Structure 1
């Protein structure tokens, strides 16, 4: 198999000055652009192809250089390139095939222009220029329909992401085709894998139901992560950041390249520390990544292990509303109702929006998660390939809390009698543990006949089991009664088995018309036995079988222009807290069902004249209508570990328009990308329930149409990036602007329970030099919240009637950091 390359206007003579090189990358058989491919000059990553397949090298020095382009599932390309004074243009066409990359499982689950769904691809270089040490959600902040938040306020520690108003419990996340979501909570706790972004080779965000995935169903989006890139040359890299709130990030990466044409080893060590923007919200995060592989022409075997350990001071309680507003009357209401003690109220007055409700010095969350993956990619003749993997995830940890004036009986301890005195309450410190194993296997069999590129098909599936022990221990008590140290006061265990099978095919029915079909069958068995921390029996027996069909079509208007439409069904089981934390009188959670319609228009044009030759333009307009039955929506309340409580809404929908555009001009020295989402998110016939002080339901309001909680109607993101000095090609500056409209904390659409709209401007500067003694040195600066806005990105609420019968509302918010900075220094050997 050979790689085709058409060079346009390249000089073969020896050049005497440096000049820019730009070009496009396409599939040699289909002509489709290949976004996210890695472009290397002299072995150094020098960018990635954009959405239109375009790439540029601002200045190639005089002399002979090696230009190399690699892309998953294609033959690599290598070509000698001569630097010259004038601009050079080239068009690269890659042939599928080559040595297997190991991405067979990943690509089997990824969307493409043939699958008629909305998606965004990000390559390693795109993620790297955003990575100053903040968690992965913050690196995705500029992608369509995304809203991010941080408990500690600065993007390190516990962070969260919502896409189209759906929290990460509705976002399917996989790493190399292996489910990352917790099997019980459906959440993906990326704090357990700090600096995962440094090991990511490519990432795809699918919005809506998307293609069939392993793991939990996607109810808002899918996040498909790959770390399986094979780098043929040896490398050593380090990246170090320092910034506000005593934030440090240190990362070291290395790789052997190909040894003896068959073996490779890659590794990473990372450490991130911060005091956090919020008071007493520090995080101490450590992680590693190690991969070892063997490859031949048609076989690749790769063992991957990665792990993260986190210790984070608990910041999941947020800040009471009067700490944000300074409203003295509201603060007194919090005090009178027992929401704040007088001492806490005094601290709130002093600390303001950076207030923490905890003062115990070890009020921390402690968790370690170890991942082990064994991957096989096997070519089966010219037309077939197989991807398979075995996996094991081991999680163990606890959070430690000081509890004041707790009833002994609630901890299975008898009262203490001293003479005529009976002691029924005590101060104590407890730990709540999780101890779990998640293991299983996945496979994907891909069919792509070389004699007929009109047809592509995949059959795949997975079997996974999750075993989790939940238990609590008292490690200290002022009055211990008969309890010993580490007295266990509750225990329950959960087992969840999940298996699925799917089949997918795309067929180019006519030269301009393609069709797509995808069916998935998924079965879940979920059992819980034992007592929860409130001493309630949480015995659960749940069985679900879901059939999820999907279909779509694409129509090519012309080269670079496409219309598409798809319809998909997604179904999902409730999460653990939906079973264990239901309010009194609730009949139990029901499974959710989603009908998702997506339709849109794509434009991708490279080599256009924008302030000169070598520009590129892309635009996409995507309409979505997501119609739910029994959608589990947040009530605005949290349980004692910060998990949102939810209730079924019988009928609800999300509909909207996502507009995304990008343009590059001046041979990529100037680029602008923007995304705007306009949406309507509604619950039909919603009946708001009022609770008393013991959270017992007492009234239900008249049914009406309301806005779904945490669902802004307008979200936009804009990035303007430039090479400000033509004589300094390694200097890039960027402005990043984010806007999020009003959100409601619950489903009442009450103006008293909302998150105010906000706008945030960030500034990024990177300067890359290539000295003679190493491949690259990069200096970076990130200034977050340049305009010093005081805003909150998340919160929760609860309320009940006061003494006069009128409703009282108590809101808590998660303020985000005011102006802050991070500086970085990176080196590549």
Structure 2
């Protein structure tokens, strides 16, 4: 507590906080003048630099940039199952596809794309659990939408170009901010500061009229303390599916002040997206007729959304033992999707139209999201303790407008609202996690979290039914583990974790009000020696009231879930990196699992029947990924990327007619860097040739019952080519 008092009572911090905390909220709410916002912050850092001189300590080894995610990430020896990707690894395939596509070759990961080519609306499943159960943070700030709990990567266009690294924890993982992780947690860290001034122009082009244009700039460290950097991107694709276009414009701006013990980051990033809808899918007959067709025919059947994020992070290292981190966030999101609806009922539109009128509607979201994170870290030889809290507040309006009708009522005006509802959600969590070296070979890990949620809604749903909710949840999520290092090269670990999770907005609409509970047991072995690295683990995840996908979609394309009762996921994951020689290496992973309901009850032919143990929907028993890399000369790499996903049931009753076939897809990646002696520091040529065997495959489908199945075809052979100029 002494360290917290020291940092909060420092003259510089009080000056900064008093002057800018109130202005910060007002600036982000009232203005889009980002450059002014950053300039003010840089000036404040200058004042701090003049009033604070901190002695340099040559014994420090931890990067202050990494403190941003220290509270939600784990290290290599932690008893938590995880995978890391560095900036260098990400950049080789970063040619415009969304973040899920870049994660496709990690263990137990399955990805899909509405438009079929990995750009636009893309999603991820880990260990068979859907994307609403994957906790996503950016610099420790929750990214999941608080109401739907989903992560919409379409609102992070070209964000990979501004990422320093990422970590994917599978299972419950360590305590994180925001909604609990029920399948995985994904932690993104944005660009670190650069000592030298730099510039970068990146362009890529490819199939389906895909193109990405990116400009990055950095001042480098000015006066050894300040840096301003930024990125602007434009990304467009027609999509593999007809008219499933994506038009994304994004930015990332960052100002940094640093000295030996302090790192302050002020950053803002945002995205404007316009996508043509492709979430309906195709019937089996339509698939055979033309797998690229789109059932939507209205010219402006589009989704349009604007999202801007503002973050401020203050990392302070007080001495070799104590450090603190404070993070503030404000996110503004607003947008709508437009839809043509034929022959509608007047009652469904508040009698603003006449019966059997054709109508065009816009359904809006308008929301604000505030976050405060704070944590303190204590480290000395053999001990690390991190204690922190996170508070978030969300408010959102849901409403629908009529913008055209073939037979409007007499007093109806364009943009009249036919429904309105609002919602608010407050989330407070506090945690303490400790890593303690118990002996020369044995390390213990304990992580305790309390999480408290309040969710309220009022008004009407889009179907004009009342939707009034006022619920509170209090959760205790303990985690513990041991790591035993039996040799210099080998270690074993085991962990047990509990997670509790509240229903999302759609679950409440469907009548679900109970929380779900997950118990996760992990047992792993790691071997790292010279040119061989092997990570393997067994997991047993057993649930109470697990919310599983039913195979149906609601009226806005969101998957519908239902309570399962008791269920489990049992699996083996192995990933290995082997360097055969100085030219060949491979990175291979395989996940084999059994995913079952226990004594599952379902409505079959109008009666409730006990079907015994059945498969959980969208949970393949086998997922395999492989990267075979060949480096004939320095800075030139060729990679063959392979992905196999086993068959998946589309419902939970083991219906043999409701399956998605397994698929096996191969991609080819090429990267070549040259370093000219003048003008440019580096020129990088890259290429990604997807689905080189031209496989016609399906990665997603939905079953409405009675054989009414809709499929989402993925792109056949396609390519992306890019060139990056660095100065």
Cα displacement (A) at 1:140: 0.7
Q: Is 1:108 the equivalent of 2:14?
A: no
Paired with 1:323 and 1:765, the residues of 2 have a C-alpha distance of: 35
Matched, 1:317 2:280: yes
Does the 8 Å contact 1:99/1:296 carry over to 2?
no
How many angstroms does 1:212 deviate by?
A: 0.3
Note if contact 1:172-1:222 (Cα within 8 Å) is conserved in structure 2. yes
Q: How does 1:91-490 map to 2 (within 5 A)?
A: 97=60, 101-324=64-287, 326=288, 349=289, 352-413=290-351, 424-449=355-380, 453-481=381-409, 482-490=411-419
Structure 1 Cα separation of the partners of residues 144 and 426 of structure 2:
14
Aligned residue among 431, 436, 444 for 1:507 = 436
Aligned to 2:506: 577
Q: Structure 1 length normalisation: TM-score?
A: 0.79
Match of 2:652 among 747, 752, 756: 747
The correspondence of residues 718-757 of structure 1 with structure 2, limited to 5 A, is 718-724=626-632, 728-757=633-662
Partner of 2:597: 683
Q: Cα 1:126–1:637, aligned 2, differ >3 Å: closer, same or farther?
A: same
SS of 2:174's equivalent in the other structure is coil
1:643 aligns to what? 558
1:493 matched to which residue of 2? 422
Match of 1:354, SS state, is coil
> How many pairs does the alignment contain?
669
Aligned 8 A contact 1:98 1:297 in 2: no
Q: Tell me, yes or no, if structure 1 residue 594 matches structure 2 residue 518.
A: yes
The answer to whether the aligner puts 1:759 opposite 2:660 as a matched pair is no
- Choose the corresponding residue for 2:533, options 598, 615, 618: 618
1:798 and 2:704 are equivalent in the alignment: yes
Residue 603 of structure 1: which of 527, 544, 547 is its match? Answer: 527
Give the corresponding residue for 1:820: 718
- What is the distance in 2 between the residues matched to 1:214 and 1:700? 39
Q: Is the 8 A contact 2:193 2:256 kept in 1?
A: no
* Conservation of the 8 A alpha-carbon contact between 1:430 and 1:475: yes
Match of 2:615 in 1: 707
CA distance in 1: counterparts of 2:563 and 2:536, whole angstroms: 31
Aligned-residue CA RMSD in angstroms? 1.4
**Which residue of structure 1 lines up, in the alignment, with residue 43 of structure 2?**
none
Is 1:654 matched up with 2:569? Answer: yes
Deviation (angstroms), 1:193:
1.0
Please state how far the C-alpha of 1:677 moved relative to its aligned partner. 0.2
Cα distance, 1:751 vs structure 2: 1.3
Describe the SS at the equivalent of 1:448. strand
Q: Kindly indicate whether the alpha-carbon contact (under 8 Å) linking 1:100 and 1:300 is maintained by their aligned counterparts in 2.
A: no
- Report deviation, 1:302: 1.1
Q: Deviations over 1:613-668 (max 9, x none)?
A: xxx1100110000010000001111001111111111100001000110111333x
TM-score (normalised: structure 2): 0.90
Structure whose alpha-carbon radius of gyration is higher = 1
Question: 1:522 & 1:96 partners in 2: Cα distance?
Answer: 37
Q: What SS does the corresponding residue of 1:198 show, helix, strand or coil? A: helix
| Structure 2 unaligned spans of 5+ | 1-56
Structure 1 runs not aligned, ≥5 long: 1-93, 327-348, 416-422, 607-615, 692-697, 800-807
Measure the CA separation in 2 of the matches of 1:108 and 1:813. 40
1:305-348, CA deviations, whole angstroms, 9 ceiling, x for partnerless residues?
A: 00011000000101112222x3xxxxxxxxxxxxxxxxxxxxxx
Asked if structure 2 preserves the Cα contact closer than 8 Å seen for 1:100 and 1:377, the reply is: no
The C-alpha deviation readout for 1:3-57, integer Å capped at 9, x for no partner, is xxxxxxxxxxxxxxxxxxxxxxxxxxxxxxxxxxxxxxxxxxxxxxxxxxxxxxx
- Name the CA distance, whole Å, in 1 between partners of 2:640 and 2:364: 43
Contact 2:352 2:408 in 1 (8 A): no
CA distance, structure 1, for counterparts of residue 282 and residue 619 of structure 2: 21
Q: Which residue of 1 aligns with 2:543?
A: 628
Conserved? CA contact 1:311–1:367, under 8 Å: yes
Q: Secondary structure at the match of 2:68?
A: helix
SS at match of 1:127: helix
Partner of 2:46: none
**Is contact 1:589-1:648 (8 Å) kept?**
no
Q: Is the 8 A contact 1:99 1:297 kept in 2?
A: no
